[in-house]
Structure 1
Amino acid sequence: MTDSSSIVLTSHPLQRVGAFALLIVSGVDDASRTPETLTGEEIDVAVAAMTADLVSTAGLVDSRARGGFWLAASYMLWPNSAMNDSQRARRSVAERTERITGWRAYPQEPINPCVPCWLCGRPACGWYGKVDIPLGASIEHRNHTGPGHQGTPLCRACLVCLHAAPYGSLLARGRAVTLHSWDDEWLAATVRRQALRTRAAATARETEAPVHWQDHAVAELLATSRAPSSQLEVMVWSNSNRDQALVVHQLDESLARWWHGLTPERRQQLTDLLGPQTVINEVLFGGQRTVLRRITEQLHRQVDDPAVMDWPTVRALSSVGLEVGQAIP
Structure 2
Amino acid sequence: MAAIQTTGRYLDSLVLQFEIRASNSIFSSAIMSTTPTIQVIKNGFGAEITGLDFADGVTDEAYHSIEDAVKKHGFAVIRKTNLVDETHLELARKFGDLDDVTPYNKAGRLHRLKYNELFDVGNVAIDGSIVNLNSPRGEADKGNALFHTDSSFNPRCAGYSLLLAHELPPPGTGGSTAFADMRAAYRDLDEGFKALLHEKNYIARHSILHSKKLAAPECFKDIDPTDYFMGRHLLLQVHERSDTPTIYLAKHIHSLEGVAPEESQAILDRLFDHATQDKYIIEMEWKDVGDLVVWDNTCTMHRAIGGEFMTKYRRDMRRATVHDDSSQAWGFNPKSDEHMGLP
Kindly indicate which of the two structures has a greater share of residues assigned to helix: 1
The structure whose RCO (Cα within 8 Å, separation 6+) is larger is 2
Name the TM-score, length of structure 1 as normaliser: 0.21
